[in-house]
Copies of this chain bind each other. A is one copy, B any other.
Amino acid sequence: MAAFSFDKLVIFGVGLIGGSLARALRERGAAGGESGGKAVGNAGSNAGGGARKVIGVGRTTASSARALELGVIDGAAALDDDRALADALAGADVVLLAAPVAQTQPLLERIAPFLDARTIVTDAGSTKADVVAAARVALGARIAQFVPGHPIAGREASGVEAALPDLYVDRNVVLCPLPENAKASVERIADMWRATGATVHEMAPPQHDRVLASVSHLPHVLAFAYVEQILQSRDAALRFAFASGGFRDFTRIAASSPEMWRDICVANRDALLEEIDSYTAVLAALRAAIEAGDGASLETVFARSRAARADWQHRAAQPAAANGGESSK
């Protein structure tokens, strides 16, 4: 496990992703927090004392209350409270944005006036080209402080209650370093993720967005569309009543956060449209084979898919580093 220590980590949006990072660092010894749960409003008052604190920032004080109660964070601040926000950010080593991607620019604009020159900001957004563009607008000349990132780990459950200390173990984290980033800044964020058990890779933002459009965004859209199609049928209740195990797994991701996926679809529009179009073409070809009763073609495609899926399953059971991609290690 990589070494990573810090005095203060500030997480904007302590839900599944931010909460899991906090829990992972805490359980692996990087974060302190004797007994978790300082009173809301005292955020960061001990900052700089080497206390290894994790501070959560939510839209309101209430939104961090549960995270405090669970001991996931040591202190909390509300985004709309200037003093609390300034306190929270003072002396921060790392700031993580873990909110739906459309909030990147307003969040960074809100943070910028209080941002220490030594603080490194990173994010956990599912798209990267739009996040980089937003960060450039919001941070201007301070863009070097922003290291774009994406931990590829999720559950259909959301919120801090769903946060797990081992969510990132053997998972992939993609960093998309900017030309302006100091090498040390990128390494620091990479070390943070490695400390959670993840494997860190580097990609350019457009490559990241193409790959994720394919293996994550497209299947979410397909699953949402599938449930919607049943809902539009006249006998939806009867259909649901006879849905079984295959249906359950296929539609699990259709229970994901509508707000998060709305943002992803809008943010990664071009790459996603390309995937939808090529998927639609493949589906049309299968449709034609079904209409023609062309069993041989169907079996060929099905057998190829089965073999590829089995091969993927086999590789996925190996350590993450063996999964290919470009590792920054």
Least CB distance, A214 to chain B, in whole angstroms? 5
Among A242, A283, A308, max chain B CB count under 10 A is at: A242
Asked if A232 and B171 sit within 8 Å, CB to CB, the answer is: no
A295 interface residue (CB < 8 Å to B): yes
Classify chain A: how many residues form its interface, as a range. Answer: 35 or more
Least CB distance, A261 to chain B, in whole angstroms? 5
Known pairs A238-B325, A308-B240; A229 contacts B278 (CB<8 A): yes
User: Which B-chain residue is minimally distant from A201 (CB atoms)?
Assistant: B242
Task: List residues 248-267 of chain A with CB under 8 A from any CB of chain B.
Answer: 248-259, 261-263, 265-266
Asked if B315 and A240 sit within 8 Å, CB to CB, the answer is: yes
Known pairs A154-B244, A262-B302, A286-B221; A273 contacts B291 (CB<8 A): yes
Q: Is the interface of A mostly helix, strand, loop or mixed?
A: helix
- Can you show 7 pairs from A to B with CB atoms below 8 A apart? A171-B244, A215-B244, A228-B301, A238-B324, A254-B305, A265-B295, A273-B287
Asked if B262 and A239 sit within 8 Å, CB to CB, the answer is: no
How many copies, total? Answer: 2
User: Which B-chain residue is minimally distant from A325 (CB atoms)?
Assistant: B241
Residues on B with beta carbons closer than 8 Å to the beta carbon of A276? 283, 286-287, 290
A2 interface residue (CB < 8 Å to B): no
Known pairs A225-B283, A244-B216; A304 contacts B231 (CB<8 A): yes
Asked if B242 and A152 sit within 8 Å, CB to CB, the answer is: yes
A303 interface residue (CB < 8 Å to B): yes
Known pairs A154-B246, A261-B302, A290-B273; A230 contacts B324 (CB<8 A): no
Asked if B262 and A299 sit within 8 Å, CB to CB, the answer is: yes
Asked if A305 and B227 sit within 8 Å, CB to CB, the answer is: yes
User: Which B-chain residue is minimally distant from A272 (CB atoms)?
Assistant: B290
Bound CA–CA A236/B313 (angstroms): 15
Asked if A253 and B242 sit within 8 Å, CB to CB, the answer is: no
User: Which B-chain residue is minimally distant from A305 (CB atoms)?
Assistant: B227
Bound CA–CA A253/B252 (angstroms): 13
User: Which B-chain residue is minimally distant from A320 (CB atoms)?
Assistant: B241
Asked if B316 and A248 sit within 8 Å, CB to CB, the answer is: yes
Asked if B229 and A259 sit within 8 Å, CB to CB, the answer is: no
A293 interface residue (CB < 8 Å to B): yes
Bound CA–CA A276/B261 (angstroms): 24
A298 interface residue (CB < 8 Å to B): yes
Least CB distance, A276 to chain B, in whole angstroms? 5
Asked if B245 and A269 sit within 8 Å, CB to CB, the answer is: no
Among A216, A239, A305, A310, max chain B CB count under 10 A is at: A305
Residues on B with beta carbons closer than 8 Å to the beta carbon of A249? 249-250, 252-253
